[in-house]
Amino acid sequence: MQLARLSFIEAVRNRIAYGVLVFLAVLLATAALISSVTMGRTQMLILDLGLSGISILGNLMAMLFAIQSLQQERDSRALYVLLIRLPRRWHYVLGKFAGLAAVLALMIAVMGLLLALTAYPFGAFHLGSFAQAMLATVLEAWMVIAVAMLFAQTSSLFLGVLLTLAVDIAGRFTDVMHQFAGQLHAQAMRWLVTAMYYALPNFAAINLRDQAGYIPAYDWGRMASVCAYAGAETALLLLFVIWVFGRKNLS
């Protein structure tokens, strides 16, 4: 818990967080300014731009916070001090994840509140589906944190961010990948693409932004499947991170 609290405070103090909030405010202000040319579709424009912006920025924050935090602690030798005080290495992984997950949830909630306040005056606004979409966005960011912690084991910040970004982008096109695998004639290539389909996190499966704010609420069965998949995928990724980190030579 102490490590989670320290990770939370460290991420909150990061200037990137405040820059992202300013950027989102500019994005929403821009959407409001061009509302005069949307012919009554102002709320749709604001919600579409805002939800997409929150997802992109949330994932970028997850990547940068996780990779930067782990690599800075390693480079400053603070990691070794922490590991000496912890009974097991996996305590460090879970504590770091808990702190980063908490700060990302807080920041996405703040950005969601800002978006809701901006969109509310422009028409009928359904808080239920919007809140469900924001929860799915938080779960998406947690999955990205787990992926980023895996690639934080690399030698540089740039490489870690690049690999995490590649997985993030590929994970949004897993359905296309699955369809492509079915059209391949070469058995080896079909197995390879299918293996990639199952290995990559399926971010499209937890996307609830399509009708957020427009309908009263998403079906709770769908919501339960989103939470179950995101929770299971995050847990599997963290187990892999723990396995890699436990066998890493830190000397």
Tokens found for residue 18: 């405040």
Q: What is the pLDDT of residue 233?
A: 93
Instruction: pLDDT tens for the chain, 251 residues: list them.
Output: 666 666 666 666 666 667 677 777 777 777 767 666 666 677 778 888 888 888 988 898 889 888 888 888 777 777 777 777 777 888 888 888 998 999 899 889 988 888 888 888 877 888 889 999 999 999 999 999 999 999 987 767 788 889 999 999 888 887 777 677 777 777 777 788 777 777 788 888 888 888 888 888 888 888 999 999 999 999 999 999 999 887 776 65
Report which of 195, 184, 203, 19 is spatially closest to residue 111, judged by C-alpha positions.
19
Give long-range contacts, CB 8 A cutoff, 24+ apart: 68-74. Answer: 68/14, 68/157, 69/7, 69/10, 69/11, 69/96, 69/100, 70/96, 70/149, 70/152, 70/153, 71/152, 71/156, 71/157, 71/160, 74/250
In whole angstroms, give the CA distance from residue 145 to residue 167: 12
Distances (CA, A) of 95 to 79, 99, 168, 204: 13, 6, 23, 28
